[in-house]
Structure 1
Amino acid sequence: MTSRKLIFLADDDLDDCVLFQDALMEISTESVLTTANDGIELIRLLEMVPERNPDVIFLDLNMPKRNGFECLQQIKNSQCWRDIPVVIFSTTGQQEMIHKVYETGANYFIRKPGSFPKLKQAIQEVLSIDWKTYRWQPLSIGM
């Protein structure tokens, strides 16, 4: 089994994408990051890689064209994609919104951290999860 992880990030904020990529490269140079700037692009990218699903999808909620909730529903309703762990990666801290993403099928929630070290810590925590045994808990890190 290889430690090389295929990671998708869907976020319309280019600065957040660059910071995420920088943090990921400091944590794991073996990981491959694919980014999408909106929900429609994310679904298109998922359709283009049928031979291997990503190991995890980091998904922003507020995106143009198709928002994170719509993408999450489509992913979790898909026979091909429903087992892909989806981590909501959002600026919201509203508890009702967090509960809603878990009810919709999210595997994990991270509030976007305010510092680079906290971002690295959050990504490292997600990459260390064994998704086969993990059971979600409604908590939020990185605040």
Structure 2
Amino acid sequence: MRDVVKNIKERIPHIFLIDINLGKTTGVECSRLIQSIPQLLPIPKILMSIYASRLQIDESEQIGCHYYFEKPPSFLERVDEMKKLFEKDWECN
């Protein structure tokens, strides 16, 4: 996880797209880590998963994520929805 933080600090993104299921860690843990770094607070954080549960959506809001994206099953639908996310004017304070 330290490598991730180092890379993020070196190349600060415009937006974070974080999958709930990352393998060794979870998207929620990753989001909490991002929230702990003051210079990253203004950057929009979007958690995403194929399976959205009310619990995950509530948890994403509680940890400061700006949006919960339920990935459509079809790749083309996913691309269309992702385009909409990138076109959105995110205002994060």
Shorter-chain TM-score bucket reads 0.7 to 0.9
TM-score by length of 2: 0.83
Residue 65 (structure 1) shift: 2.3
Deviations 1:31-50 (A, max 9, x none): xxxxxxxxx3xx62442253
Deviations 1:74-122 (A, max 9, x none): 1112112112211111122211211111111111111121112211121
1:47 aligned to 2:6? Answer: yes
1:89 aligned to 2:37? Answer: no
1:113 aligned to 2:67? Answer: no
* Residue matched to 1:128: 87
With over 3 angstroms needed to count, the CA separation of the structure-2 counterparts of 1:52 and 1:63, relative to structure 1, is: closer
Higher RCO structure (Cα 8 Å, ≥6 apart): 2
**How many pairs align?**
92
CA distance in structure 2 between the partners assigned to 1:91 and 1:68 by the alignment: 13
1:73 to 13, 26, 32: 32
Contact 2:46 2:68 in 1 (8 A): yes
CA distance in structure 2 between the partners assigned to 1:50 and 1:94 by the alignment: 31
**Consecutive aligned runs of 4 or more in structure 1 exceeding 6 Å deviation:** none
Structure with the higher helix share, 1 or 2: 2
Paired amino acid for 1:85: P
Paired amino acid for 2:13: P
CA distance in structure 2 between the partners assigned to 1:49 and 1:100 by the alignment: 23
Paired amino acid for 1:64: G
> Percent identity, aligned pairs only?
24
Contact 1:46 1:53 in 2 (8 A): no
Contact 1:76 1:83 in 2 (8 A): no
